[in-house]
């Protein structure tokens, strides 16, 4: 007996299926689903506290905590494809700024939200954390957008 996908998930290729981990961000298929509340403006948040990629110079691992907030229009980010997309950076070499902005731009291009912001809270390498923030669109009036809730890096103090 096969499971039928809801109409909102029509066209997705990864949800509910075993899918191989993409080797690179370019190979990863980020997908969207129809927003069942397209007539309502609200904030959706994804938090990815265990993001990893590689330093493009040394090849050493870099770690970040990402918070992605967006006010969707017609489309939502399909969460399984987002998880696979983020994990595809694991063996990808790029600077912190490049990873953060690339992820934000790809999500914004796919979903065309009213507003999107991404906060990349990177753990220190070489003794210095680098936090990267990017946004697209304008936050609609009357929308409550909570603080991203990630404390600035303070070391062991």
What does 98-140 look like in DSSP terms, one character per residue? HHHHHHHHHHHHHH--SEEEEEEEEPPBTTB--EEEEEEE-PP
User: Could you say which of 53, 62, 69, 99 is catalytic?
Assistant: 62
Please report where in the chains the tokens 């291009």 appear, as a residue.
109
Which of 39, 53, 55, 98 is flagged as catalytic?
Answer: 55
CA-CA distances (angstroms) from residue 17 to 14, 34, 79, 80, 137?
5, 19, 13, 10, 33
Active site annotation includes 62: yes
Helices 96-111 and 79-87: crossing angle, nearest 10°? 160
Catalytic residue set: 55, 62
């Amino acid at each position: 007996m096969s499971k039928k996908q809801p109409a909102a998930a029509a066209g997705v290729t990864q949800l509910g299926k075993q899918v191989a981990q993409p080797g690179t961000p370019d190979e990863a298929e980020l997908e969207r689903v129809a927003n069942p509340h397209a007539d309502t403006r609200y904030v959706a948040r994804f938090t990815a506290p265990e993001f990893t990629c590689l330093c493009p110079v040394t090849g050493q691992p870099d770690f970040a905590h990402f918070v992605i907030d967006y006010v969707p229009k017609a489309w939502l980010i399909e969460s399984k494809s987002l998880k696979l997309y983020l994990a595809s950076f694991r063996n990808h070499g790029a600077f912190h700024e490049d990873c953060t902005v690339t992820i934000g731009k790809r999500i914004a291009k796919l979903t065309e939200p009213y507003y999107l912001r991404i906060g990349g809270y990177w753990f220190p390498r070489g003794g210095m954390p680098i936090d990267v923030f990017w946004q697209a669109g304008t936050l609609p009036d009357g929308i409550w957008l909570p603080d991203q809730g990630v404390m600035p890096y303070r070391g062991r103090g």
